[in-house]
Structure 1
Amino acid sequence: MSINRKIKLVKFIFITIFWGFVVYVFLLQTVHSKKYEQMAVSQHGVSIPLLAERGKILDQYHRPLVYNQLCASIRILPQYVRESSRDSVAKLLASYNLKPHSEIINELITKKNLYWFKKYIDYETACSLKQQLHKRKFDNSIIVVDDIKRIYPFGATLASVTGFIGDEKGLAGLEFSYDTILKGTEGWMLLQKDATGNNYAWPSYPTQKPINGNDLVLTINLDIQDIVYRELEKTVNDFQALSGHIIVLDASDGAVLALADYPDYDPQNFKNSSSKLWTAVSVSDEFEPGSVYKLVICAAALEAPNRKTLLAQKYDVSNGFITVSGRKIKDVHNNGVVDFDNIFVKSSNIGVTMLSQNLSATDFYLKQREFGFGLPTGIELPGEANGFIDRPTSITPLRFANIAFGQGLRATLLQLSMAYLTVAHNGELLKPYLVKEIRQNHKVLYNGKKTVVRRVFSEADAQIMKEILASVVTDGTGRAASLHESQVCGKTGTAQKIEPDGKYSATKSVMTFIGFFPKDNPRYLISVMIDEPKKSRFAGEVTCPLFKTIAQKILYLEKPNHNHNHHLLTYAGPSTN
């Protein structure tokens, strides 16, 4: 072979190799690039979640009840902390009072994968730590990320309504009920880790931006909520009661203006409290209501076929007791001879027993169901109880009499509130609601509104019941609830509690007062329940004065000079420690 042919052959081989390499590189960068990039991601990529900002919870005037605070959290990749660097890393982190040195060393040795070292540290502290980590080249294994802390600035005052979150999930209250609405959608990003262990962004690595959660605007009025909570706390402590519960409703549409329970818990530190406190007792706990339940038999009598006879009749309760199936039913006071209205004004157990003997058990059962007893109201809070009422086939004459004055059934304070609101709203049962709006930025996605569930009785009968309930406050057991500024309609209840042996207690009771005002155009309904007050025997001495104090302060809020922003002006802000 000649020299020229050899030279040409060598050139051809080199050119072939060169163009083969060019084609190979081209294929790597185009056709097969995604394949090898995915291999690199799986071998060297680190996924970092990007948290969505949880939606705020606001009162009806858009004052923040729950919001977010920028902070930082620390994650550690222990497998990338060299053994020779462990002590230095631990000393640095301990110098910021994040954890004791020995605990940090133990974590770096025992943990094998990426983990949360510390959540929710002060943002300024985080910035300083970031600088030190970068300076000492520890930022490849100690990752400081921006984070968001949920803040409950009014603490226990609103705990029954707002609830709380844990591990970024709603665990109680509206935080739980509306978790999917509030939390938004988490994003993520992938970081490249090189041979030396350093993390850095790679332009072609995928990133998914988070979608922030929606805001809830509630029907709650922060001013009224504050009044209710403070007065409830004072009454429970003054009367040495086990607990107390209050609901305030807008009588025009069923919106919840305030809802409070005491004792309480701090949603910012919920782990330090009993889980029994985490639900709204007014919604979740059932109790025997006592005389406040006499409203139902009053309505049943007004709607009965023999209505005219029942309303015209005089009822002789002067004996002080009536015997039903061998059992004596008594009144607290001797009430003599009473008409239909005064059975309720004087709260006569004997009188309602006489009514029960002239009514159909089936009709009475149906009237209870029309009021919503034994059924959930549909409030947005979790854990709502249904209550319990007997079916007509289980109602004996004695059982009927007991139920008529509020024994032998179970109801929630919210169910009782909605029953009285039916009178205030001229015979229509409304659905209670807490969420006024759901907002995405400034766009309204949902509007809460008045919902009429059904008509329970006529407007004419509602007017009769209003007059009776007004007389309870002016002339009967509810005198201590009367207002100079407005005519109140309401009813007291003092229900004996059941002892462990199944008998009714002679000393333990649940006291209630439910009232609305003004009589002719009701704007507010307030329900008060105090459990086992030790310093009083009757609701008129405990719940009526509490109702009156709250009502007077609510009316004061209506004065033109009241500033709805005073809470924000006086609130200094949450601790960041």
Structure 2
Amino acid sequence: MRDDLARKFPASLLIDEKLDSSSAFRTKVCLCILIVGFLAVAVKLIVIQIVQHDFWVRYVDEQRKTALTVQPRRGIIYDRNFVPLATSIVQEVLCVAPHQIKDLEEAAQKLSPYAQMSPNQIVKKISSSDLYLVYLRRGLDVQTAEKIKQLNLKGVEFRSESSRRYPKGTLASNLIGIANIENKGIEGIEFRYNDELAGEAGKQILIRDNSRREIVALTQTVKEAQDGNHVVLTIDEVIQYITEKALEDIVDEFDPEGASAVVLDPKTGEVLAIANRPTFDPNLPATFKKEKLRNRVVTDVYEPGSTFKPIAAAAALEHGVISPDDRVYCELGAMRYHGHTFNDVHPYGEITFSDVLAHSSNIGMIKVVSLLQPQWLYDYIRNFGFGEPTNVGLPGESPGIVHPPSVWSGLSMGAIPIGQEIGATSLQLAVAFSAIANEGVLMRPYVVSAVLDSDRAPLKQFAPQALRRVIRPATAQMLTKMLVDVTNSGTGAAAKIAGYACAGKTGTAQKADLVNGGYCRGKYVAVFAGFVPADDPVACIVVMADSPKGKYYGGSVAAPAFKKIAQGILNRLEIPPTNPEEQQPPEQKDGWNGRKLAKKETLKQAPSRNPSDGPHMPDVRGMTIRAVIESLSVYSIKLDLEGSGIAISQSPAPGEALRAGRPCRIAFKRKDA
């Protein structure tokens, strides 16, 4: 048949042959492509399953894993008696995994009361983030976190983190400083010792299923978090409170722009208290301004005024140009010196050098110091620690201002001895007075006594360090006696404590204008520096008030605060009076030593007694610890406080006689205990 068709239609046969040939070619090409494709897939499968097997296993595992940083607990800051001043607590963080939430608006509506955000704010925050977890609120307590968990919202998760707490509130806050939510110290001790306190973060690996839900049982701990070390300060919580209370009294009465006080142990250099006003509550970081964070004791430089006269007097006594009993003519209150007139507040004729210091005569001091060479005076100023940081270990410390004699003018030998043309911090002034109290030996001040590990085993310990001898013991003793005269019969009478020898010096300096130069009109710095007891000092105290209103003399503003602090410290440390016959019963006003009592602190009527018998124990039951300390600080008794909260019992009983040095035990109990 094919032959017949070929004879009838020769052309069609040729076409068919051509078609058969083209089809076969295409078939072969497709077959080749399929074979190559299968081979490529096979090769790829071999590569994936065999060659790259380990890689793809790791890749899949990584997709199921989430690395989580475990924050350590920040170390505790203690006072010298291991009272916690800064602690850390574990709190919950409310988080949301956006990709797991089906109805974002509904979830936002339910979470709004707990996140302290409006639903719209939550929606906007989640929608604008490309993170796996979005943090909505930090600092949740366990109870609140449990309530949120009961909502059974898919995609809502929690993370635990360490949060800083300051149980004493504003107490010593300018010294302690603050740490932020990232567990990093940004002020004070928290900043200076951040490396010791922070600890080391740990790491966990979270395993999730195909729905991205966490499989708790498979959580892997790669590295354990290492809690921070603890820092022990030299300050005493009670002395700190006493100091801050005295500063608060200055603020209430004189409304200064600022105030500060520092207490040192003159024999060791330990800082027992550092107080500042204004201050802040580190538990409420959103409520204070940055200027309130400043630790004025180490940052603020001011002309010390007459509190600098003992330093100049020390140089004169050491060089033997005068003795305390030598007499100096004080020009009846006015003297020209290098073209400038110096004045005394009160005119004096011929008085002893001891009286020059006691009555704070500018003219008498200038006359005496003019007998020295400028370099001699400069050397003693530097030896007392002025013009350089004390290296107390606190951030922001100023070195003060001391110019070398090469740049002094002819007026400088008149200005510097009375505390002008020189700048000092309160801490520098306290260190210098401590050297006088310590028989002429200058100690390095320090505020941290130890660093402990998380188990409270010591890692570092700091001991007292004597830097140098500044003056001879005999000179220190003469100068101490002169400073006692200041409080007995001179400008510092308001600092005198009955029964104790107090050494100190008042100072009143016009405030320097740091912007325009010269001095601020009508603004003064009131200062008092001293130590108690003078015969065996346990505390050196400097009180400064910046631009007080009304009264502005150091003897009127700062000296009474010194007395309050010193009296409280003597009671706290149970130092018996050296002259108990000087002590008299305090005058009773408003029911209790002139203090207006709050309604809850009204004293109960004690049994009747003869007023001539001396002081008697009041009834302090129902009072707070602070109220008891404040009320009993006027007596030379050994105060023993037990517990916390409200006073529930006392010994001696109300009405019993209070002799000097008698132990007084007050027991306290919390209302909720």
Q: Name the TM-score, length of structure 1 as normaliser.
A: 0.88
1:75 paired with 2:95, answer yes
1:120 paired with 2:139, answer yes
User: How many angstroms apart in 1 are the aligned matches of 2:432 and 2:256?
Assistant: 26
**Paired position in structure 1 for 2:558:** 543
Higher relative contact order (CA 8 A, sep 6+): 1
CA RMSD of aligned residues (A): 2.5
User: How many angstroms apart in 1 are the aligned matches of 2:116 and 2:290?
Assistant: 28
Shift of residue 551, structure 1, vs aligned partner? 1.6
Q: 1:63 aligns with which of 73, 78, 83?
A: 83
User: How many angstroms apart in 2 are the aligned matches of 1:572 and 1:436?
Assistant: 35
1:315 paired with 2:328, answer yes
TM-aligned CA distance change 1:105 to 1:61, over 3 Å: same
1:163 paired with 2:177, answer yes
Q: After superposition, where does 1:510-549 map in structure 2 within 5 Å? A: 510-549=525-564
Q: Check the 8 A contact 1:46/1:191 in 2, yes or no.
A: yes
Q: Deviations over 1:422-478 (max 9, x none)?
A: 001111111111112211113111222211111111111111111111111111111
Q: Which amino acid aligns with 1:153?
A: P
Q: Which amino acid aligns with 2:207?
A: Q
Q: 1:99 aligns with which of 112, 117, 120?
A: 117
Q: 2:641 aligns with which of 544, 550, 563?
A: 563
1:224 paired with 2:302, answer no
Q: Deviations over 1:169-221 (max 9, x none)?
A: 10111011111101100112121333322223575855211000011111111
Q: 1:146 aligns with which of 131, 154, 160?
A: 160
TM-aligned CA distance change 1:393 to 1:190, over 3 Å: same
TM-aligned CA distance change 1:225 to 1:311, over 3 Å: closer
Q: 2:128 aligns with which of 99, 110, 126?
A: 110
TM-aligned CA distance change 1:392 to 1:32, over 3 Å: farther
1:429 paired with 2:451, answer no
Q: Deviations over 1:67-125 (max 9, x none)?
A: 122321123332x234x321232122124353211111111211111332211012111
SS of the equivalent of 2:186 reads: strand
Shift of residue 572, structure 1, vs aligned partner? 8.6
SS of the equivalent of 2:264 reads: strand
Q: 1:396 aligns with which of 391, 400, 409?
A: 409
Q: Deviations over 1:500-537 (max 9, x none)?
A: 65343452110111111111111111111111111213
TM-aligned CA distance change 1:263 to 1:572, over 3 Å: farther
Q: Deviations over 1:332-391 (max 9, x none)?
A: 111211222222112111112112321111111111111111111111221001101111
1:336 paired with 2:354, answer no
Q: Deviations over 1:254-296 (max 9, x none)?
A: 1111111011111112232221121211111111110001121
Shift of residue 323, structure 1, vs aligned partner? 1.3
Q: After superposition, where does 1:264-413 map in structure 2 within 5 Å? A: 264-304=279-319, 307-308=320-321, 313-413=326-426
User: How many angstroms apart in 2 are the aligned matches of 1:177 and 1:527?
Assistant: 24
Shift of residue 240, structure 1, vs aligned partner? 2.0
Q: Which amino acid aligns with 2:243?
A: V
Q: 1:87 aligns with which of 101, 105, 127?
A: 105
1:460 paired with 2:479, answer no
Q: 2:503 aligns with which of 482, 489, 511?
A: 489
User: How many angstroms apart in 1 are the aligned matches of 2:223 and 2:671?
Assistant: 37
Q: After superposition, where does 1:220-259 map in structure 2 within 5 Å? A: 220-259=235-274
Q: Which runs of 5+ in 1 are unaligned?
A: 1-20
Q: Name the TM-score, length of structure 2 as normaliser.
A: 0.76
User: How many angstroms apart in 2 are the aligned matches of 1:409 and 1:572?
Assistant: 53
Shift of residue 312, structure 1, vs aligned partner? 6.8
Q: Which runs of 5+ in 2 are unaligned?
A: 1-44, 575-636, 647-667
Q: Which amino acid aligns with 1:115?
A: V
Q: Which amino acid aligns with 1:188?
A: K
Q: Which amino acid aligns with 1:394?
A: V
User: How many angstroms apart in 2 are the aligned matches of 1:59 and 1:180?
Assistant: 19
1:470 paired with 2:509, answer no
Shift of residue 548, structure 1, vs aligned partner? 1.0
**Paired position in structure 1 for 2:198:** 183
**Paired position in structure 2 for 1:18:** none
TM-aligned CA distance change 1:459 to 1:200, over 3 Å: same
User: How many angstroms apart in 1 are the aligned matches of 2:383 and 2:458?
Assistant: 34
1:192 paired with 2:211, answer no
